[in-house]
Amino acid sequence: MNNNDTKVKCFQCKYFSIVWEKQNSKVCKRFGFKSSVLPSIAVYQSTGTVCLGFEPKEQNAKKANGGRTDAQYRPGRKNNKNTTA
């Protein structure tokens, strides 16, 4: 295996999270463990295979709409404040 085959981008995985523990700050929710290294590296070191639990994060509607929720997003309007005539 070359180096590109072992690279799973944990930051783009929906099961990856970071916690405030100094020793084991990186978490894989898919396999249920914490590690001081990226979970994909820990999986490769322990099994010798690429992490098979990777699933890309779903695009957040709030990010797609420039930080607004769907209820606040109205394309073509200059502002979304309630105004009375």
pLDDT digits (tens, 9 = 90+) for 21-69: 989 999 999 999 999 999 999 999 999 999 999 999 987 655 655 666 5
| pTM more than 0.85 | no
Measured between alpha carbons, how far is residue 67 from residues 13, 25, 56, 58 in Å?
Answer: 21, 27, 20, 16
pLDDT confidence of residue 2: 46
CA-nearest of 9, 8, 12, 42 to 34 is 42
Q: Which two tokens stand for residue 67?
A: 């930080």
Structural contact between residues 26 and 39, judged by C-beta atoms closer than 8 angstroms: yes
pLDDT confidence of residue 12: 93
> Which stretches of the chain are assigned E, i.e. beta strand?
16-18, 26-28, 33-35
Structural contact between residues 63 and 57, judged by C-beta atoms closer than 8 angstroms: no
Matching residue, tokens 């999986």: 43
